[in-house]
A = this chain, B = another copy of it.
């Protein structure tokens, strides 16, 4: 039987979406599978995983696309152009078919902000190489993405340390 890739979606307002995707990468790399991790937003400050990624440089391609833009920017046209450029890169990575697992981290925000049509994401995933697993993370995934996905977990915030006045910690970085 030929392996069919899964489309996994981690959404919701709780912590653990990106970290769960990282964990999947860790697991897949252990099987010797090639992994592409494309970060659309969080970008440059995630020092921890970038350092860890170096130990898997033979298998893991780690791309930080969010460095150049922010949602607080005054230049909306530039932001949209950068978002679409990041999305073009992701589509090219999928089409290239060099990876068994492709992670599109925080992609939902680009859809929520109207920078990428949801249908374009659904179509890209539907026409991906059949054995490829794809993970999309981010808050507020739309109904179309939820219907298209094979597995959907909502990470629901029950309690957050900021509500207790605790600052983000090095290594944990929540």
Contacts and interface: CB of A to CB of B under 8 A. Distances in A.
A85 interface: no
A116 interface: no
| Nearest 6 interchain pairs by C-beta | A22-B23, A19-B23, A30-B51, A27-B48, A30-B48, A30-B52
A74 interface: no
Contacts of A149: 159
Interface string A11-55: 110111111111111111111110000000000001111111101
Interface string A154-168: 111111110010100
Interface in A128-174: 133, 146, 149-161, 164, 166, 169-174
Contact of A150 (B14, B17, B27, B164): B164
A156 B159 contact: no
17 contacts: A6-B169, A6-B172, A11-B158, A19-B19, A19-B20, A19-B22, A20-B155, A23-B24, A27-B171, A28-B171, A30-B49, A31-B170, A33-B171, A52-B56, A149-B159, A150-B164, A155-B155
A173 B30 CA distance: 12
A31 B50 CA distance: 9
